[in-house]
Amino acid sequence: MSRHILIIEAHPGGHDGHLCGAFADSYAAGAAEAGFLLRRLDISLLDFPLLRSREAFENGPIPESLIPASEAIQWAEHIVFVFPLWLGTMPALLKAFLEQVFRPGIAFQYGESGIAKKLLRGCTARIIVTMGMPVPIYRFCFGAHGTNALRRGILNFAGIRPVRQTFFGMIDQAGPERRKEWLGKVEMLGHHGK
């Protein structure tokens, strides 16, 4: 059986004209060539409300527009998130999406003991992030806090692990050669389904 890979694009400005979109395409090309089963999701194209209450999170229905996305997450054995770093973390659009989709019954289940059962165990992930600052500054001065929150607080909590990360920094300064090299690196990740 081929590995199920879901690519989630989360640039609020959409796919076109952004390095994030090109990375998603490169990953998909590598994964398709290797024969993985692939699904893609561009969150910028989805219309969904913000989650407003604990009651809605725990007992409310998932918005209809997000049902295919939640099914794709349950189908996936490996999820690739691609987004730009905004104010040190994931764009609010992605957080809003995860608040709606990573809810009880899909991502985890509250048990009698109070310890949540992780429903997405067995799934792995990669986070691909573009940013304006140099990567070492993000890693060492900021402690990669934004992506660590996504890895540990959301994905690991649901059982998704390991969560690997690939960062691309100073992207405005990167010329065509550099970008081509980066796209090749991401295509190889797709080829290996990592």
Ligand X SMILES: Cc1cc2nc3c(=O)[nH]c(=O)nc-3n(C[C@H](O)[C@H](O)[C@H](O)COP(=O)(O)O)c2cc1C
Would you give the binding string for ligand X spanning residues 171-190, x where CB under 6 A is met? x-------------------
For the CB of residue 90, give the shortest distance to ligand X in the complex, in Å: 11
Nearest to 33 by CA among 164, 187, 182: 187
Q: Give me the phi and psi of 61, to 5 degrees please.
A: -75, 150
For residue 137, give the DSSP letter. I
131 binds ligand X (CB under 6 A): yes
Q: Which of 37, 133, 135, 149 binds ligand X (CB under 6 A)?
A: 133
Measure Cα distances from 109 to 5, 73, 75, 103, 140 in Å.
23, 16, 17, 8, 35
Would you give the binding string for ligand X spanning residues 10-49, x where CB under 6 A is met? ---x----xx------------------------------
The two beta strands, 116-118 and 108-110, are antiparallel
151 binds ligand X (CB under 6 A): no
Which structure tokens are listed for 93? 């659009």
Piece of the chain touching ligand X by CB under 6 A; list 72-80, 118-126, 130-138, 148-156: 130-138
For the CB of residue 171, give the shortest distance to ligand X in the complex, in Å: 5
Q: Is 164 helix (H, G, I), strand (E, B) or coil?
A: strand
Asked if residue 98 lies in contact with residue 154, where contact means CB atoms within 8 angstroms, the answer is: yes
Residues in contact with ligand X by the rule CB under 6 A: 13, 18-19, 84-88, 130-133, 171
